[in-house]
Structure 1
């Protein structure tokens, strides 16, 4: 029996997922010691990536992309809402060149192999489930209330994820296509790892401030 693409993606990217959980950024977040500008920096980095990815998905003419992409998957407004909140509090994000590199690859892929955008989408949509788990750590560390600053981290939805995975499985039944989308997902994870690496710089120093 041919395996579904969602299972292949889950199994094929597990090592990337586990590696990201051990970064300085992730461990500091779980410990409640991640500086606020790093959290805001991640949101700003994802804004760059999501702006490129969601725009390209919306304009893609690939039938596979059209059958999977849905307006309920849009996350850019949520990230922008969070960033406006922190900007009003005077917190500026750290620069993250790796986010721009990811956006460049998104735009290139949209021209050369648009179906592979679904591999990028798999990684970004999946990250919202992990963010939902981390929501309480973020809320407590930065004393956030009434959903301010947590629109993106609070956007994970298992029912939406299941519907997304089902559409992905229906659209990508050919093993050769699945292989290309899996390779794209691995590239996306590499970019996310580079973003996390930039945001982890210096977190092993003795003095760390949460805010």
Structure 2
């Protein structure tokens, strides 16, 4: 096995990665067992998560370690807005709320991603490489199941400016391998990836509950702040 940092990171996080992917909500979604509004729940939670993560990306753009990972081709927020308009209508912003697990996830992003490069890279890696891996499969399945298209409903899963996802991921891992991390910073990054996966799993578990809340007017539930 390769002893590169990216390989060690992948090995260290594999169990957490598998736990996130094995959530019942994900399997039910790709199998077409859920109504479309339960998919809209996921898009809404993604919106809150990426809103903060992409704010952090702007804050970290000039950082010596993190700046190399900030790439406009990965930006998901406009796509999520397009998907929410398709799924919920033009008033979508008044109809979505963050679930409890999402609020905790967002709080963690706000706490560590704006000032600490290893933590930002950890969350960036967990989200965007996941989007370019299993996320592409989920997007194809959801599009087929619910009759959605890349520019209406599943825009989130369509990276128009990335022609070769495999090549992009290889280049991303090469950037990880080239990071000048000391032992402490490397351990912090690896540890934060585990934190990111746990938050992601919690969001999916929340969505998988039978009484998972649907997008509703924000005045009926506390805000995601």
Q: Same fold (TM over 0.5)?
A: yes
Q: Deviations over 1:26-56 (max 9, x none)?
A: 1202321122222111111111111111111
What's the secondary structure of 1:167's corresponding residue? helix
Query: Which residue of structure 2 aligns with residue 19 of structure 1?
Result: 19
Provide the rounded CA distance (Å) in 2 between the counterparts of 1:135 and 1:116. 27
* 1:124 corresponds to: 127
CA distance in 2, matches of 1:142, 1:90: 21
How high is the TM-score relative to the length of structure 2? 0.80
Structure having the larger proportion of residues in helix: 1
TM-score by structure 1 length?
A: 0.85
- Tell me how far apart the structure 1 counterparts of residues 158 and 73 of structure 2 sit (CA, whole Å): 14
Aligned length: 203
RMSD between aligned residues: 2.5
Q: For structure 1, which runs of at least 5 residues remain unmatched after alignment?
A: 204-211
Q: Do the aligned residues in 2 keep the contact of 1:57 with 1:69 (CA within 8 Å)?
A: yes
* 2:139 match: 135
Give secondary structure in 2 for the equivalent of 1:48: helix
Structure 2 stretches lacking a partner, 5+ long: 212-225
Larger mean CA deviation between 82-91 and 141-150 belongs to 82-91
Change (3 A) 1:47 1:172: farther
